[in-house]
Structures are given as structure tokens and as C-alpha cells.
A and B are shown apart, each in its own frame.
Chain A
Amino acid sequence: ETGVTQTPRHLVMGMTNKKSLKCEQHLGHNAMYWYKQSAKKPLELMFVYNFKEQTENNSVPSRFSPECPNSSHLFLHLHTLQPEDSALYLCASSQEPRAVDEQYFGPGTRLTVT
């Protein structure tokens, strides 16, 4: 238990579906992150939020829409995804964005797009 939880743990969706991934951290951190982990590729940073404000978008397609209503919760809204979007989506948090070496990761959501 790292203090970062993600739901659901597994998700199968069609290309026309709309779904959301949820992340919650119980560490009192101010920064939250979304990463994508594809098979045979390195973890890729997608988004960074600091105090609910997005501070980094790593050229992510608009079919991925993040939302950070408060510093404890982070969502990733998904719509019209492609099969190549199938991956493990990891959430992380840290005290502040500059404390990237002190990130705590959640267990991830395994997404399969059919």
C-alpha cells in the first residue's frame, strides 16, 4: 500500500465507449500525475497537476481528458479510444511537482480497448 489507490483495476472498453479512471491519494500531496505504460515501451508521463492546476501535458491526444477537482483526486476521462491505447495507466503523487524523485505510484488500471 503506497497511499495511492486507483479504480477500476481492470477495464475493457469499446472504441465508442466513454469511461473514466479514478485516482485518489491519502498522503496529503499537492502534485498528481498520469503515466502510460505500454508493453515493450518505457513509462511515459502524460499529465502533471499541481494544486489542481495542470502544469504539464506531454502532447497527449485529446481523447484523453484529465480532471483534478482537488489535490487528492485525479481522473482520466476516456472517449473514442483506439486499440493502441490499451496499456497500464498509472497514477502517482508527490508533495510538489519538483519532488519527482519522491513520487508514490498507484497500482494502475489495466485498460484494454477492443
Chain B
Amino acid sequence: GQQLNQSPQSMFIQEGEDVSMNCTSSSIFNTWLWYKQDPGEGPVLLIALYKAGELTSNGRLTAQFGITRKDSFLNISASIPSDVGIYFCALIQGAQKLVFGQGTRLTINP
């Protein structure tokens, strides 16, 4: 099955720093999704990308759908303590299946 490579696996940063994480796939897909999972909760959709080259922002979050349609990145600017959590990229495989990356665990030192 399709595998996503998400990196880095974990990040330890200072509050106020910018964060960047990315995902790559071995195949071309039409949709990239980015989720955040807080401790003790399920994933929540942050940003959805549907077009190659698309750049979308959601507050301090910015995500881009790579031109090759095989990669995507998520940036968080000026991190704050509530940004702590696990961030996942995901693709839609077939008609109804989400395939997730391994996740990037973000830890913020105040």
C-alpha cells in the first residue's frame, strides 16, 4: 500500500520559533491533508490542499501542495504553547480511504 514519509518525527523548539515539517509520497495524489492531534483527543483537520502548487493559510499555519504532487509541507510561525501535539499529513487513496503519515511530535519549551 501507499506509504507516506513524514519528517521530522519529533521537534523540540523554543516558544516563538517557526516550525516546518513535510511529507513525501511515492505516487501522485490529488489531495493533501494536514491534521493535528492533541493529547487524549482525535485528529482535527487543519488544512486541506486540492491543487498542485496550492498554498493555503489558516492563521499562523501555512501548507503547500508540491508541484510534483508527491509532497507537501506545513509551516507554523511564531509557535505558542498550544501548538504542542502531533501533526499528521494524510492522502486520500481510492474513494474512501485516508492514508496517514507517521506524525511529527512537536514539543515547545517556554
Contact = CB atoms under 8 A, between A and B. Distances in A.
Given A45-B99, A105-B41, A105-B42, 16 more contacts: A4-B42, A40-B102, A41-B102, A43-B43, A48-B96, A58-B97, A90-B43, A98-B95, A98-B96, A100-B98, A101-B33, A102-B45, A103-B45, A105-B44, A107-B42, A108-B42
Contact of B31 (A31, A101, A107): A101
Interface of A: 2, 4, 31, 40-43, 45, 48, 55-56, 58, 90, 92, 97-98, 100-103, 105-108
18 contacts: A40-B102, A42-B4, A42-B88, A42-B100, A42-B102, A43-B98, A45-B98, A45-B99, A56-B96, A90-B42, A90-B43, A92-B42, A98-B95, A98-B96, A107-B41, A107-B42, A108-B40, A108-B41
B28 interface: no
Contacts of B95: 97-98
A111 to B, nearest CB: 14
A50 to B, nearest CB: 8
Interface in B1-45: 4, 31, 33, 40-45
A106 B97 CA distance: 17
Contacts of B48: 101
A30 B66 CA distance: 32
**Which of A41, A103, A106, A108 has most chain B Cβ within 10 Å?**
A103
B96 A106 contact: no
